Amino acid sequence: MSAPFYVQGAWFVGALLFIFGLKGMSSPASARKGIVIAGYGMLLAIAATFVIPGLQNLGLMALALVLGGGGAWVSAKKVKMTDMPQMVAIYNGMGGGAAAAIAAVEFAKGEMHGLVAATLATLGALIGAVSFTGSCVAWAKLQGVLKKAHRLPAQNAVNVLLAVIAVGLGAAVIVLAPQQPELVIAFFVVALVLGLIVTLPIGGADMPVVISLFNAFTGLAVGFEGYVLGNPALIIAGIVVGAAGTLLTQLMAKAMNRPISNILFTPLAASGPGEAISGTMKEVGPIDAAAMMRYASKVIIVPGYGMAVAHAQHKVWEMTSILEEAGVEVKFAIHPVAGRMPGHMNVLLAEAGVPYDKIFDLEEINGEFGQADVALIIGANDVVNPTARTDKTSPIYGMPILNADMAQNVIVIKRGKGTGYSGVENALFYTDNCRMLYGDAQPMAGEIIQQLKAMG
């Protein structure tokens, strides 16, 4: 069913609002405004769809909006900041699943006209189905439902075989559907299984990149299905999201110094015994940690997932304010893959009220660690591991890291002596200038605050 010109115009305006919204999301200072603008674009696109003459199933459409919107509203209000990555993963999966479902419905109706439309619908279905089940696995891993990676014998061969079968069935669907509906069913089954099998072996260290990659997949799937439906809003929004997700995925893979193919097909595991680490871990108490920072000229704070788990961002900002009142220069250093999703640490710090001009990316801050009196690491591990520079047998070798070890003193707030996601021992913790403050980040930050207040 073709939409009248005023509906097409509204869809186009909605797509433009998506673009302006995405532009706003490129900076923390304008991200909230960008989300609101994109939301208005979505509202306009949905409203325009409801006024298409002769449209059927309006009641079911309205019910779907109420159920989906209501569920999203409630879950978004209740979700913890530490659980935000898995919410992003599952919502992204829903987008991919919706794109695949659109293609399934169009094939079932037998209204696929033209080779181009059928090809794009099939591509969107394949990509969307893989994104759906893959994102579900990502959610399960981040939520703790799946405790470890599961790798099949000859995993890469299985991946390739399933991909070839899916493409072959897709080609058959383009030529024969709807005359052969069993082909459509087989195609979707294989595509869904492919998403599961590809994602199950991937460990938590690579999950931020995987989420970003599936986000790009979902965007492409939506764009393809938008062409099939003749909806410019879906086409533009899908292409924009797909392009942005692809760029982000490439940037994150570069930040880990790992090609995307390596992330998908090679487990993160050491290729050798690794270099021996000399030295011992040396503990420090809250009073000494407070004194080191109180009488410093410059402190750089490196937050990690441990800070998020402990909900310590507000305490950390309170500690920062006390230090600044005492004349200490304090900055925050963020690694591109810190946390469990892109921008995770930035969001947590913004929630606590940390000004944007105090938060710096790796490229902006790395040259300043050598002039810092103290580098305070809160729940971060792999992103500050100097092994990435020296040990060629390490799985994180070559990964750009924050140069925290170059500070005059390093304080690490950590719950225990365990390794990071990569499973690699952190050589930083054994260096002469590093001290370990064991405990959850929030109570430890609280104790440091008490000691700082006592020092006046």
Residues designated catalytic: 382
How many C-beta atoms surround the C-beta of residue 327 within 10 A?
A: 10
Angle (nearest 5°) at CA 224 between 218 and 226: 100
409: CB partners within 8 A, 6+ apart: 292, 296, 373, 374, 375, 433, 434, 435
Alpha carbon of 184 to those of 118, 189, 405: distances in Å? 12, 9, 56
Q: Nearest 10 degrees: CA dihedral of 133, 134, 140, 143?
A: -130
CB 152 within 8 A of CB 196: no
- What residues are paired with 412 via a beta bridge? 377, 436
CB 201 within 8 A of CB 149: yes
d(Cα 374, Cα 407) in Å, to the nearest integer?
A: 6
CB 265 within 8 A of CB 307: no
* Tokens linked to 137: 């696995």
